[in-house]
Amino acid sequence: MSADASASDAAADAASAADASARPLASRPAGTPVGALPQGRIVSHLPVVDTPAELLPGALDHYQLFQDVSGDDLAAWAAARSIAPEVMERIDGLWDRHEYDTSLLQVLAGADLLTDGLDVPGHRQLSPLGAGLVNMELSRIDGSVATMVGVQAGLALRSIVLLGSEEQKQRWVEPLVTGREFGAFALTEPDHGSDSVSLETVARRDGEDWVITGEKRWIGNGAGGHVSVVWARVDDPADAALHGQVSGFLVEQSLPGYEAERIVGKTALRAIDQAHIRLDGVRVPDAARLPGARSFKDTGRVLYATRAGVSWGALGHALACFEAAVEYAGARVQFGKVLAKHQHVQVRLARMLGTLVSMQLQCLRLAQLEAAGEVRADQASLAKGFCTRGAREIAADARDLLGGNGILLQNSVARHMADIEALHTYEGTETMQALIVGRAITGVSAFA
């Protein structure tokens, strides 16, 4: 073959690749003016579908990693996707007004999405993969909605299912999983975020009761909910094994001494409330203590599971931003051609895709390990740190590619970009995850 022929073939291949990459991920033809999209949106949200290829079209599943998803996992994934139209009708306004629409919990419950992989009789039993896909898809729709599930099911419900008594499960599990009542997970304190093991809230034994005093901060559903799983240091000299340890208590938010103030002025997760809680001698019966919570290691059992969920959530945000960037690049015309035909745009999209695929691989492997009962804390931490960092990078690139339109709420990217900042911090900052991984690598702890 001649050099000229080789060059000609290469040019043809390049042109073909450019056309393919410019092709939108949904149904809009390339070059359609942005203003012609429904409600001016960049991302078109898909209806209920039957195959993974319809849920993650084109480059969103570049290595076809999700094409074998089937059965209950696929049904749960599609159920999560099915609520997108109802959520998207409301979310921009809610986010802009900093308003928590609790009726969205009933929407989630109506699709049986409030189990987060837990075994709850009479409800959808999700595998680790299915739970991850639901988390991913909800985050792809909106971070506040995904956090509703994370707080209600991943933290509050999981604490009760894993560590609660049968009586506690009978009282709280069904109301929480059906969204009739709202649950909170109160661990973080004003002075103890990353070092939550040093929490100062105290539960003092007083006869048959516990008296709880302290403060909590950044507590989802902590105001206007029904029950908070409050983590406190036990003061009970009569119980040598429990005294000084951290335990969990089911505190009804209507009790005297429980005061919660909604945190305002947030720049992320603006469509769900977090609260600052003051516990001033709140008295609960001994039956309110989670019997399986006898040290901070038991708290960790809940947190390790949710870190995997945060990884999937970060993947969902990244998918939404990458999808928006590709669609915009195929529609926006600058200098006489769509952005997708500019070399530097393709280079940036390729880099974003590489990060996205790496995130997908980590999440899928984590689900496999969890299903086999072999996942370690350091593996969950590695995925959490990597995926939230990767999502931040993809969101920033997508925002930049959309230019000035990237800061409009109606185009979704700015909302995802803001929300990923919260995910990058909660359930342990990137630094804390790195220290957990570093300890596994070296065998040496560097926490103090």
pLDDT of 413 = 96
pLDDT of 153 = 95
What does the pLDDT look like over 397-446, one tens digit per residue?
999 999 999 999 989 999 999 999 999 998 888 999 999 999 999 999 99
Contacts of 185 by beta carbon, 8 Å cutoff, 6+ apart: 151, 155, 156, 159, 219, 220, 228, 229, 302
The one catalytic residue in 137, 181, 215, 427 is: 427
What does the pLDDT look like over 242-279, one tens digit per residue?
999 999 999 999 999 999 999 999 999 999 999 999 99
Provide the whole-model pTM.
0.86
What does the pLDDT look like over 173-201, one tens digit per residue?
999 999 999 999 999 999 987 777 889 99
Confidence of residue 349 (pLDDT cuts 50, 70, 90): very high
Confidence of residue 49 (pLDDT cuts 50, 70, 90): low
Q: What is the mean pLDDT of residues 142-161?
A: 96
208 as an active site residue: the answer is no
Query: Phi, psi at residue 33, to the nearest 5°?
Result: -60, 140
Q: Domains plus CATH for the chain?
A: 60-177 (1.10.540.10), 183-294 (2.40.110.10), 297-442 (1.20.140.10)
Higher pLDDT, 304 or 234: 234
What does the pLDDT look like over 81-131, one tens digit per residue?
999 999 999 999 999 999 999 999 999 999 999 999 899 999 988 999 999
pLDDT at 39 over 50: no
Confidence of residue 447 (pLDDT cuts 50, 70, 90): confident
